[in-house]
Chains A and B, each alone.
Chain A
Amino acid sequence: MSFQESPSLESLKSVQLPDQKQLARMRARRRLWVMIGIFAVALIALSILNLQQSGLLEAMRSKGTVVGTVVDENNAPLRAFVFVLGTPLETQTDANGHFELHDVPAGSQEIVVGYLGAARAFPLVVQANTVNDMGTIQFVSTRIP
């Protein structure tokens, strides 16, 4: 702003400055907006947490395919069931012990292999839009499950 365009002292006289009461009100209003901001942030964070707990985020996540081969302690193919913990995804290995699980949500998952009532969990980070090969999974039976 050039000097010529700047307001004159006369024009500034007409501006009413706030009194103490008005200043207190403004401060209260500012505090109110700070609280609104804090609760809005908390609400967003809690909404994300609730979504995560409900599994909706999981369902919305991009997906990958998991493949592998299940063998016993003698490296013989095992006809086992394979699940993804916390999802309805499941399949059974074929005669060669091979399995494929499609539409597995990307991220940290527990792949569970079940055989004769006992199960073992294998953690896996599933990459989206990729075939995630777990290789050979050895299912070792124990006397106690």
Chain B
Amino acid sequence: MIRRFNNRGQSFVEYMLLLTLIAGTVILSLRALGITVRDIYCLVAGSLGLDQSCGHYFYDPFDTLEAWNIVNGKWTTRNGKLYGGPGEGRIFVGIPANNYVITLRSAVLETGNGYGVFFRVTNTPRFNGYSFQYDPGYKAFIYRKWVNGYELPPFAVARAPNYEWYGYPRDIQIVVHGNTFTTYIDGQPILTATDDSYRQGGIGLRVWDATQANFEAISVDAIQ
């Protein structure tokens, strides 16, 4: 058998095909991980110091409530603080990112059962999403899933029966990354869980029953 040899080497078309495939693989990998083009831009621009505002999706020092969609409840701002309750109350704000870090500054529960932080929320007021809260009923930190405004039993629970939740200003940080959610209180990791139901959405705050709580500021930033 005569073996024919092609000595032309690699063609421009082959290199272009490979480059296209590499580019497509990178884009689809990032999409699968929930990383947007904006995230990449912010990562690059932030590290080069070109765009300082990039990566800061939302900040509210609670001078007003203009930014929020108040679905129900009693919410007021006074002296640079947000006061929620008493009674059932929910407020939401959209966030232009899928992955982010929520930081709630100086959250104080004065009375009642508690307050919670919503994340990955869509379709308000009959919303889908997740919430984090300290639940006195469970005596635990919990994550819940919400479906059309209905709350499901917790899908993650960290028991903390003697946790001093009343009267202490707490800094709550929730890292929402892909299907993994991690909450820190005053810098200490409290609860980590995974769930694949919701991949995007904004944030919110909730109070319920006889709760009276106040909050100093909230920010939502890109994950560093």
Contacts and interface: CB of A to CB of B under 8 A. Distances in A.
Contacts, number: 97
Given A50-B32, A81-B150, A119-B147, A40 B21 contact: yes
A144 B150 contact: no
Interface in B1-58: 2, 5-10, 14-15, 17-18, 21-22, 24-25, 28-29, 31-32
A14 to B, nearest CB: 10
Contacts of B152: 112, 119-121
B5 A18 contact: yes
A22 interface: yes
Contact of B2 (A15, A46, A86): A15
A35 B152 CA distance: 47
Nearest to A121: B152
Interface string A112-128: 10110111110000000
A63 to B, nearest CB: 20
Contact of B6 (A26, A36, A86): A26
B137 interface: yes
A6 B73 CA distance: 93
A15 B21 CA distance: 37
Contacts of A18: 5, 7
Given A28-B9, A50-B31, A143 B137 contact: yes
B21 A46 contact: no
Contacts of B153: 120, 142, 145
Interface in A1-28: 7, 12, 15-18, 22, 25-26, 28
B135 A36 contact: no
Interface string B146-181: 011111110000000000000000000000000000
A85 B152 CA distance: 11
B199 interface: yes
B137 A28 contact: no
Contacts of B24: 39, 43, 46
Contacts of A15: 2
A114 B135 CA distance: 20
Contacts of A43: 21, 24-25, 28
B197 interface: yes
15 contacts: A25-B8, A26-B5, A26-B7, A29-B6, A36-B17, A42-B25, A50-B32, A83-B148, A112-B152, A114-B147, A118-B150, A119-B152, A121-B145, A121-B152, A144-B137
Given A18-B5, A25-B9, 7 more contacts: A26-B6, A28-B9, A29-B10, A43-B28, A53-B31, A117-B151, A121-B145
- In order of increasing CB-CB distance, the 10 nearest A-B pairs are A144-B137, A114-B150, A119-B150, A46-B28, A39-B21, A25-B9, A22-B7, A18-B5, A112-B147, A119-B152
